[in-house]
């Protein structure tokens, strides 16, 4: 984990209410797909957790949706050349086993961004079937990155682009044909629940990245604690954010 006063290279709008922020760190920091950073947001005491979407040498890109005061601050206050406090890399990230050669990637909303880092890491090494869900066409972004998959299905809730329905529905239409060795997912909890129910009993391991509210991002404050199915608890920031789907209460 490093504390970096990174230089903003670009902070631009890429879809309705969604921005892409690229920063330069001092030197190349090893980052696994699915890891995240805590980004400083000015006078807001708590930093905001945002997944690493792309890491290319010293350049790290985050994509974020403006939700409240913190992300609005990010969108309005960081221009090229300015400095932003960044703590990274955090969390466990996704791990794809050697034997998992055919993987399905199922994302929804801002959950597609950590999955882009997974697609980038696995492209050319694994067969990747991606199902990415957005509210509508205006919310669709970073499609060129998702196209590194062997097969990409875009889904929209209103049918304005791609498959009319959710990413989970699109995935379940194909599951018999693609027979993935493992599924990697990130998105709103109702989507993860739908995925859990849909794949139950098929014997396919499913790994989900959770997007809980966070305070510190490093395991100290317990704001992000989630319930495990065996009655224990886990810190999403430190023990996750990636869990096997059967491990966590959704």
Which residues contribute to the site for ligand FES (CB under 6 A)?
A: 214-217, 219-224, 235, 237
The site partner of 221 among ligand FAD, ligand FES, none (C-beta below 5 to 8 Å per kind) is ligand FES
The distance of closest approach from Cβ of residue 145 to ligand FAD in the complex, given in angstroms and rounded to an integer, is 13
Binding part of the chain for ligand FAD, among 3-11, 68-76, 131-139, 157-165 by CB under 6 A, reads 68-76
Q: Does 67 bind ligand FAD (CB under 6 A)?
A: yes
SS3 call for 54:
strand
As separate numbers, helices (DSSP H) first and strands (DSSP E) second, the chain gives 5, 16
The distance of closest approach from Cβ of residue 183 to ligand FES in the complex, given in angstroms and rounded to an integer, is 25
Residues 197 to 216 in contact with ligand FAD, rule: CB under 6 A: 211-214
C-alpha distances out from residue 181 to 118, 126, 131, 224, Å: 15, 10, 15, 30
Binding part of the chain for ligand FAD, among 67-75, 120-128, 131-139, 172-180 by CB under 6 A, reads 67-75
The distance of closest approach from Cβ of residue 1 to ligand FES in the complex, given in angstroms and rounded to an integer, is 13
The site partner of 215 among ligand FAD, ligand FES, none (C-beta below 5 to 8 Å per kind) is ligand FES
The distance of closest approach from Cβ of residue 110 to ligand FAD in the complex, given in angstroms and rounded to an integer, is 4
- As a three-state string, the secondary structure of 131-185 is EEEECCHHHCCCHHHHCCCCEEEEEECCCCCCEECCHHHHHHHHHHHHCCCEEEE
**Is the CB of 205 or the CB of 215 nearer to ligand FES?**
215
Which of 15, 63, 195, 216 touches ligand FAD by CB under 6 A? 63
Q: Which two tokens stand for residue 243?
A: 């869990």
127-134: strand order across its sheet:
163-164, 151-156, 127-134, 102-108, 182-186, 206-209, 242-244
The distance of closest approach from Cβ of residue 73 to ligand FAD in the complex, given in angstroms and rounded to an integer, is 8
Q: How many CB atoms lie within 10 A of CB 154?
A: 20
CA atoms of 133 and 166, how far apart (whole Å): 6
Over the window 210 to 249, marking each residue x when it contacts ligand FAD by CB under 6 A and - when it does not, the resulting string is -xxxx--------------------------x--------
């Amino acid at each position: 984990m490093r504390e970096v006063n990174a230089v903003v290279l670009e902070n631009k709008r890429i879809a309705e209410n969604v921005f892409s922020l690229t920063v330069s760190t001092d030197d190349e920091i090893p980052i696994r797909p699915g890891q995240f950073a805590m980004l400083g947001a000015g006078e807001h005491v708590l930093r905001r957790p945002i997944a690493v979407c792309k890491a290319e040498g010293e350049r790290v890109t985050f994509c974020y949706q403006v939700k409240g005061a913190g992300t609005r601050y990010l969108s309005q206050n960081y221009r090229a050349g300015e400095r932003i406090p960044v703590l990274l890399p955090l969390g466990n990230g996704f791990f794809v086993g050697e034997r998992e050669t055919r993987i399905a990637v199922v994302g929804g909303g801002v959950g597609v961004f950590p999955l882009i880092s997974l697609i980038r890491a696995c492209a050319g090494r694994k067969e990747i079937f991606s199902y990415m869900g957005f509210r509508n066409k205006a919310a669709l972004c970073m499609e060129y990155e998702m196209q590194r998959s062997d097969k990409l299905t875009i889904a929209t809730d209103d049918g304005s682009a791609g498959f009319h329905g959710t990413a989970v529905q699109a995935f379940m239409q194909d599951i018999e044909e693609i027979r993935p060795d493992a599924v990697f997912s990130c998105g709103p909890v109702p989507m993860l629940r739908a995925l859990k129910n849909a794949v139950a009993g098929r014997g396919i391991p499913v790994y989900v990245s959770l997007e809980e509210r966070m305070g510190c991002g490093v395991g100290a404050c317990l704001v992000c604690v989630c319930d495990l199915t065996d009655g224990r608890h886990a810190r999403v920031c430190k023990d996750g954010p990636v869990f096997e789907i059967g491990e966590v209460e959704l």
